[in-house]
Structure formats: structure tokens, C-alpha cells
Amino acid sequence: MKPTATLFLVAILCTGPADLALAQKVKVTTEPANATLYLNASKVSNPKTVNIGDPNISLVAALSGYGTAALKPLDLRGEGITEHTMVLEQLNKPGADYKGARIEFSKLIDRTGQIEKPSVPTGWYGTTTTATDFEDAQFTAAITGTMGKYGCNVVGGNTMFKNDRDVPDFGLGAEVLWIGKGTAGSGFQIALHVKWSVYSVEEEKVVYEKVVGAYSDSRSTNKFNDELAFALEDATRSLVGTKEFQDMVSADKVKAPASAQADAITIAKVSAKNSADYSGLVKECMASTVTVKTNFGFGSGFVIADNGYILTNYHVIKGAEKIEAIFNNGFSFVAEEVRTNKDRDIALIKIPGSGFKPIPLGAGEAASDVGEEVLLIGTPKSVELGQTVTKGIISGKRTFEEKPYIQTDVAVNAGNSGGPLINIRTGEVVGVIVAKVVDSGVEGLGFAIPIEDCRKALNLVTE
């Protein structure tokens, strides 16, 4: 038994060299060489020799005009190297003409477990602990504000349009993987490792991940949360300031390539009529509007040709397995998608049969002049409210994302999308309702796609 014990002891001792490898020293340098190195949150010499077996340390490297780099020396274990270079990427400030795709910042997560939880009352007399809440608007604003300075089109929160048009092209999330805190002087020094994840809404998957460093010692505040916000701004610059990220989220590259112009669809011209009979005009138009119902929701639409062509918004029918057009008299028809234009949010559908009464389409600018009286017919809030009529004026002409819109003060509600905006004087459709401003204290700001833009987007011609 004794020899066996001796052999066992030898086997244990033989593991020594492998354990000693954990104490390997690595000299860390930076590129450019004049970057500043921080070990945890304290400035150190550059280059710096570190023990890659120490799980409690980390390095960040910072230099004005460059993205801050991050390194966990422990990750170099087993590489068998004695030197490592942290490469900083030069930040790219996009030109004034740069346009980013829609990006929504969705989450900020602390993976370290070291950043304090929200403040809670403790002890006597309701005193509170100093704490950090990552859901606080201060941190979101620090990130989204920096994104905006680099040309990113940040959506979410108080976006103007509350429909499918404003679903972001990308979602952006941030995870704090490591934090180092210092308290030299009167304030804090904060170093971070942040992992960014970019989610493509179109592809329904994460398409890009990047770990960056961040550092802040602003000397302008003695509050931890304020310094943390500055560090998050640095982490954001290290992502959105890279040409790789800017190219990926460029609106020009995200936008689907233009397809060949589809063949023209010809519809019969319907003459406008100058009618003093307002009640009669309303009744005629109500008979030509429909509730567009799908397997997931509903919107509005209107007949533009006697053979059953109907205009509505693209977002009303997008992805629908079944489309139904319901008239004011209760008759219902199954409709088929004929042609859509996602970029302009317009769609042409068709129901079977003939003899339907179309609404004339406006052919001149005068019918959509500011100050013209208009009415809107649609299905607000529920199918039971189909063909509801509201009245107002054209209150402005606007351009968003290089696309023209008609502004109106008619009452617009969910379900009105796709409904006709009709000039009361001529009885012509001048626009297709697409959106309204939704915000506290804001009323009477609805928007319609000019009817001429609808024609062009779908290549509709009149004979």
C-alpha cells in the first residue's frame, strides 16, 4: 500500500507546473502608444505588466478621438504569450448628410452584480442609501443623446408616428460586463466593459456584437450616478463612432434596393363635383369607404374604381393571411392584395365583382391647399364604429424623411389608417390618412399621404 501512496503523491506534485502557469506575467501595450492605461479605475504606466491569472483586475485604454478599448487579462490565460497590444479604433464622425436607420435603445443590464440597486428607505427617520437604478432616464438619455450626435435615428418613447412605419430597423442593447470604481480626489473614477448587441428587426436575430471599454474621471461631479452616465457616453462613442457600425445602420444600406417599376394599373377617371349638398356628399362617400379587417386587426380603406380596387395603408394589411372589406351597408367581401409600397406605406387591394361606386381622386394642388375644409371617413377604435365621419381643415404641408405629408386637424384615431381625406368643396380624395402625433397635451395633428404620391408609389394611371 505504501508504494501506491507514494505514486499518488507524485501525481499530485506533477500538477505544479500547470498551476504555476496561472501566474504568468504579460506586458500590455497600446496602439496608438500614447493611449492612457487604467488598471481597474486607476491610471498606470504604459506599458503595464499584469498577472493574467488574477480574476479581479481589468484594463481599459483611452485616447481622445479613439474608442476606449477593454481587456480582461484573465482571458489571455493559456495563450502562451508574454506581450499583448490593445488596439484602439479611431472614431469616425459622419458627415452632415449621413442618415441612420431607425434604432431603438431597448435595455441596459448590469451583469456584474456590483452596481447598486434602486434606492430604498433604510434605518431610522426614512434615510436612504446611495444607489443606482439602470432604468433611470439619466442613463438612457446619456446613451441615446450620444447616438444622436453621431447621426443615429433613435426612435421609441415619444415617436411621432404610432404605427408600423416606426417599427425600428434595429434594436440596441447594452450589458455592463465589468466595472471598476475609484474615489481619488473629490469624485469618482469609473471604468467599464460594455457588451453591445445589435438586433435586426427584419432578420429577427442579433447581427452584431461588440465589447468596448469606457472610462470617466470628469472631475465635474462628485456623484457616482453622474460619473457613470459620462462613462456610458464613452462606451456609446466606442460603438457608434466606428465606421463599421455606421455602415451597418446606414439608412441607404438598410433600405431595400429599388425594384423595377411595376406595370401601370389603369383605373377609370371619376369626375369631381362641386356640391353644396354637404349631407349628400357625406352619404355618397360613406357608401364608398370600407373597414379593412384582417386576421390580426383592422383599418380603413376606400374604393377607387368600379371593378373593386381599394386603397389602404400597407401597415394595415402587412402579413395578413386574410383580408376582408366591409361596407357601410353590412356587405362583406374577401379581398386580395394586388400591389404594395412599404416605403410609402400604401397598398392596393381588390374585391370581386363590379359596379362599385368609387370616390374621385384629386388631380390638382388646389384641392389640398392649407385652409381647405376636409372630412375623414374611417373606422376608429373598433369595427362597430365603421364609416365614422369627422371634419376639419388642412392645417399644413410637412416633410418627414424626405416624404411629403398633408397635416390636418380632423380627429384621427387608431383604425383610421387608410381612410380617405376628402375635400368638402370638390368631393375629391386629397390624401390617405397614415398617422397622428401621440403625446401628452397634443391634439389635432394628423397626417395623410398626398394622393398623387399614392398614385406614383403604386403606378396607378387614369384613362
* Rama region for 29: left / alpha / beta (φ>0; ψ in -120 to 50; rest): beta
Q: How many domains does the chain have?
A: 3
Q: Say yes or no: 283 and 430 in one domain.
A: yes
Mean pLDDT of the chain: 84
- Residue 106 structural domain: 102-181+196-254
- Residue 344 has phi, psi (to 5 degrees) of -100, 0
What's the confidence (pLDDT) of residue 130? 60
Q: Say yes or no: 454 and 393 in one domain.
A: yes
In a domain, 5, yes or no: no
Q: Say yes or no: 384 and 349 in one domain.
A: yes
Mean pLDDT value across residues 417-433: 92
Distance in angstroms (rounded) separating the CA atoms of residues 39 and 55: 13
Cβ atoms within 10 Å of 351's Cβ, excluding its own: 22
Selection from 434, 454, 290 nearest residue 362 by Cα: 454
Q: Say yes or no: 138 and 274 in one domain.
A: no
In a domain, 17, yes or no: no
pLDDT: is 257 or 360 the higher one? Answer: 360
User: In sequence order, what are the residues at sequence separation of 6 or more whose Cβ sits closer than 8 angstroms to the Cβ of residue 231?
Assistant: 190, 191, 192, 214, 215, 216
pLDDT: is 378 or 143 the higher one? Answer: 143
Distance in angstroms (rounded) separating the CA atoms of residues 311 and 345: 11
Cβ atoms of residues 386 and 291 within 8 Å: yes
Q: Say yes or no: 81 and 135 in one domain.
A: no
In a domain, 314, yes or no: yes
Instruction: Determine what percent of the chain is predicted with pLDDT higher than 70.
Output: 85
Q: Say yes or no: 397 and 426 in one domain.
A: yes
Q: Does 2 have pLDDT greater than 90?
A: no
Distance in angstroms (rounded) separating the CA atoms of residues 231 and 189: 9
Is the sign of the CA dihedral 222, 226, 227, 230 positive or negative? negative
What's the confidence (pLDDT) of residue 277? 78
Distance between start and end Cα atoms, the chain: 106
What's the confidence (pLDDT) of residue 429? 94
CATH number of the domain where residue 136 is located: 3.40.50
Mean pLDDT value across residues 164-170: 68
Q: Say yes or no: 215 and 295 in one domain.
A: no
Question: In this predicted model, what pLDDT tens digit does every residue of 48-102 receive, in sequence order?
Answer: 999 888 888 999 999 999 999 999 998 887 767 889 999 999 999 998 888 888 8
In a domain, 9, yes or no: no
CA 231 to chain centre: 23
Indicate the pTM of the whole model: 0.60
Q: Does 262 have pLDDT greater than 90?
A: no
Q: Say yes or no: 80 and 116 in one domain.
A: no
pLDDT band at 139 (very low <50, low <70, confident <90, very high): very high
Question: In this predicted model, what pLDDT tens digit does every residue of 396-417 receive, in sequence order?
Answer: 998 887 889 999 999 888 788 8
What's the confidence (pLDDT) of residue 99? 86
In a domain, 12, yes or no: no
Q: Does 7 have pLDDT greater than 60?
A: no
What's the confidence (pLDDT) of residue 199? 93
Q: Say yes or no: 51 and 144 in one domain.
A: no
What's the confidence (pLDDT) of residue 243? 94
Beta strands 265-267 and 460-462, pairing class = parallel
Cell 386574410 sits on residue: 322
Mean pLDDT value across residues 169-178: 93
CATH number of the domain where residue 331 is located: 2.40.10.120
Grid coordinates given for 345: 406605406
Question: In this predicted model, what pLDDT tens digit does every residue of 107-117 receive, in sequence order?
Answer: 899 998 888 76
Q: Say yes or no: 355 and 392 in one domain.
A: yes
Q: Does 6 have pLDDT greater than 70?
A: no
